[in-house]
Amino acid sequence: MLNPAPRGRFAPSPTGPLHFGSLVAAVGSYLDARARGGEWLVRIEDVDTPRVVPGAADDILRTLEACGMAWDGSVVHQSTRGDAYHAALQELRRQAMLYPCACSRREIADSAVAGIEGYVYPGTCRSGLAHSREARAWRVRTEGAVIAFDDAIQGRVEHDLEKDVGDFVLYRADAVYTYQLAVVVDDAEQGITHVTRGSDLLDSTPRQIHLQNLLGVRTPVYAHLPVAVNAQGQKLSKQTLAKPVYREHIVSSLMLALRFLGQQPPGELEGEGVDAIWEWATQNWRLDRVPRVRAQVFVPAGTEGRK
């Protein structure tokens, strides 16, 4: 089979404006795709409606434009993709890999051990709901799913899903399709060949590969970039009060993002503007220079040494 044309994507959740941490993921995915001569898509991950901040998606897109990052095709919003997610659930159900679960968070917390991300679901509802219990969420089975992959930056990752995560939720009690399901369905349907994103999602990847295997779709090449953390080791996010990328500081933000990713842009580029930065960065992008760490401290300019 012919290899498909390279295609990357940036998939922000619209929970706030673009900040340095998400800019790094945007820049890394953009350059990785463009340096391969590939397309780069933008997808708004607004599937988790309770977390969506009105206006944030537009704000992110305007900032990407101001950064000179032009995407291919039209922007897909996950909130419009319910039918596709539903169809994927039907397929898993047909394979008897999906089952309803009646457990509350509390019940799970009382009977489960901690895994790589929260509690490992102990499989209570796997062989059917106890009499008079009502389905709250839908889970996918993970027995025997030992999933390994080679990340282009972080190296080999292997999870025994049943032990490390447990059967995980694809459709929540509050009628929301989960990120793990939506991202797999969308990456497959959009023909994404290269997923370059923050390493906070490294531990989600084996779950996504498990779903790809079940749904019979291709597994993309994964590259997980270091995430930016503050001096306390917290990921930059709205919760840690990361500052937005201000449109009047685009050039310096792009230069900082390139350096954060281990690239070595010459200082003169700063005076030459956005187009010159992209021209240099696309021609000189080196994935092997990206630091092979999960997290890196980012100290915003002007705050070094401040107490």
Tell me if 13 sits within 8 A of 79, measured CB to CB: no
Instruction: Give the nearer residue to ligand GLU in terms of CB position, either 121 or 222.
Output: 222
Tell me if 286 sits within 8 A of 264, measured CB to CB: no
Instruction: Give the nearer residue to ligand GLU in terms of CB position, either 99 or 177.
Output: 177
Instruction: Give the nearer residue to ligand GLU in terms of CB position, either 24 or 255.
Output: 24
Tell me if 270 sits within 8 A of 297, measured CB to CB: no
Min separation Cβ 207 and ligand GLU, Å: 11
Min separation Cβ 8 and ligand GLU, Å: 10
Instruction: Give the nearer residue to ligand GLU in terms of CB position, either 185 or 250.
Output: 185
Binding interface with ligand GLU (CB under 6 A): 11-13, 45, 183, 197, 201
Q: What is the DSSP string of the chain?
A: -PPPPPEEEE----SS--BHHHHHHHHHHHHHHHHTT-EEEEEE---SGGGPPTTHHHHHHHHHHHTT-PPSSPPEEGGG-HHHHHHHHHHHHHTT-EEEE---HHHHHHH--B-SSSBPB--TTTT-PPTT----EEEE--TT-EEEEEETTTEEEEEEHHHHTBSEEEE-TTS-B-HHHHHHHHHHHTT--EEEEEGGGGGGHHHHHHHHHHHT-PPPEEEEEPEEE-TTSPBPSTTTTPPB--GGGHHHHHHHHHHHTT----GGGGGG-HHHHHHHHHHH--GGGS-SSSEEE---TT-TT--
Min separation Cβ 154 and ligand GLU, Å: 15
Instruction: Give the nearer residue to ligand GLU in terms of CB position, either 165 or 269.
Output: 165
Instruction: Give the nearer residue to ligand GLU in terms of CB position, either 183 or 255.
Output: 183
Min separation Cβ 13 and ligand GLU, Å: 4
Min separation Cβ 60 and ligand GLU, Å: 10
Min separation Cβ 149 and ligand GLU, Å: 14
Instruction: Give the nearer residue to ligand GLU in terms of CB position, either 39 or 45.
Output: 45
Min separation Cβ 237 and ligand GLU, Å: 9
Min separation Cβ 165 and ligand GLU, Å: 17
Instruction: Give the nearer residue to ligand GLU in terms of CB position, either 201 or 214.
Output: 201
Residue entry with tokens 């206006």: 55
Residue 41, strand partner residues: 9
